[in-house]
Amino acid sequence: MLYVVIVFLWTSILLYLLLGGADFGAGIIELFTSKHNQDNTRKTMYRAIGPIWEANHMWLIIAIVILFVGFPEIYTTMSIYLHIPLVIMLMGIIARGTAFSFRNYDAVVDDMQLIYNRIFRYASCVTPFFLGIIAGSAVAGRIDTHATNFLDAYVFSWLHWFSVAIGLFTVAICGFLAAVYLIGETDNEKDRQRFIAKARTSNILAVIAGALVFVAAWVEHIPLIQWVFGNVVGITAIGLASLSLLLLWYLLYHGKTKILRILAGFQVTMILLTTTYRHFPNIVLLKGGAYLSLLDNAGNAKTMAALGWALLLGSVFILPALFYLIYSFQKKKSSVAH
């Protein structure tokens, strides 16, 4: 059952990155869109993600619940030493979530919209940036459980080049996912071209940010190169991701939306796979070489069994309903648009 739980944890993180990420990305794209087109982007986005918006963010909750029920030491260690970035991320989640619903459900449409929009866009950048910082800090080995002063314990645990680079990388990936997703959601050629251009830019930025991550790792003496290229799975996954990048660029010029989406999702999956594979089962590295492991720091067998069954049972209900939701709105859209 332990492995079932771990698979669910990994899958929820992946799905949060893909679905929640595209959702954040839509806000990021909106921020980097010229004033003139912002409204269009916004409408396309609302049409595209409105119905599944709530559901996209449930993956984060599932991951957190799995952590605190199944791996309480991992949850509490991160909560204590990454308190500050977690709070900032939460502020981002609050601001973004509420601004999204305010701007879509406010009964009066007036200047308030400008405020909602601005909050929504900035929070869409800040939140994934800090999510990236938190993820980076987990594996950077800077969390010092023996620190004696505030800065060492609660600030330098997360504030270093490596985590900042991962933060930027996460933002770029979210933007990229959103742009690719939105290409297929527009109803006119002009917007389509716009999103294709955005997808290109954000893809280039993601590649640059990815390179930055390697540089930062080198600066911070984190053996990232060895993690990624030191094993067959890592090399294969990165190789496949790079190959698919070529294909992706080719397709961007030929506009095959469905395959594009699959490719973008595939690349992000490969990146997550590479970075987690080498670490497994140690997902939190502490200063001085100690670590917290998904296998050794898991809860007792009975709890894991109960959690595993709860998750399996849950997916029997959730997955079909979720697919049907997405399916019906896809169908509805195509019947409206064409």
Partner 1 sequence: MNDFIAARSQMALSLGFHIVFSCIGMVMPFFMAVSHYYWLRTGNVMYRNVTKAWSKGVAIFFATGAVSGTVLSFELGLLWPEFMEHAGPIFGMPFSLEGTAFFIEAIALGFYLYGWDHFNKWFHWFTGVVVGISGLVSGILVVAANAWMNSPAGFDYVNGQYLHIDPIKAMFNDAWFSQALHMCLAAFAATGFAVAGVHALMILRGSHKAFHTKAFKIAAVFATVAAVLQPLSGDISAKSVAKRQPAKLAAMEAHFQTERRAALIVGGIPDVPNKTVNYAIKIPGLLSFMAYDDFNAEVKGLDQVKPEDQPPVAITHYAFQVMVGLGMLMLAIAVLYFITLWKKRQWLEKTWLLKLFVLATPAGFLAVEAGWTVTEVGRQPWIINGIMRTADAVTPMPGIAYSFYLFTGVYVSLALIVTFMLYRQIRMVGKLYDLSPVDVAPAF
**Exposure string for 25-63, b = 16+ CB within 10 A, e = fewer:** bbbbbbbebeeeebebbbebbebbbeebbebbbbbbebb
Residue 201 interacting entry, from ligand HEM, partner 1, none, C-beta within 5 to 8 Å by type: none
For the chain, how far is it from start to end, CA to CA, in angstroms?
47
Sign of CA dihedral 107, 111, 117, 119: negative
Reference 197, options 26, 39, 27, 29; nearest CA is 29
Q: Does 219 bind ligand HEM (CB under 6 A)?
A: no
Residue closest to ligand HEM when measured from CB atoms: 61
Nearer to partner 1, 105 or 253 (CB): 105
φ and ψ at residue 284, rounded to 5 degrees: -125, 120
Shortest distance in whole angstroms from residue 116 CB to ligand HEM? 19
Token digits of residue 265: 């999702």
Cα 108 from chain centroid (whole Å): 33
The DSSP result for 85-124, as a single string, is: HHHHHHHHHHHHHHHHHHHHH-SS-STHHHHHHHHHHHHH
Residue 62 interacting entry, from partner 1, ligand HEM, none, C-beta within 5 to 8 Å by type: partner 1
Q: Does 58 bind ligand HEM (CB under 6 A)?
A: yes
Shortest distance in whole angstroms from residue 148 CB to ligand HEM? 27
Residues engaged in binding partner 1 (CB under 8 A) = 46-47, 50-55, 57-58, 60-62, 64-66, 68-70, 72-73, 75-76, 78-80, 83, 86-87, 90-91, 93-94, 97-98, 100-102, 104-108, 150, 153-154, 299-300, 302-303, 306-307, 310-311, 313-314, 317-318, 321-322, 325, 328-329, 332
Residues within window 37-56 making contact with ligand HEM, judged by CB under 6 A: 54
Shortest distance in whole angstroms from residue 60 CB to ligand HEM? 9
Shortest distance in whole angstroms from residue 61 CB to ligand HEM? 5
Residues within window 275-294 making contact with ligand HEM, judged by CB under 6 A: none
* Burial class of residue 174 (count of CB atoms within 10 Å of its CB; 0-12, 13-18, 19+): buried
Residues of the shown chain interacting with ligand HEM in the complex, contacts defined by CB under 6 A: 54, 58, 61
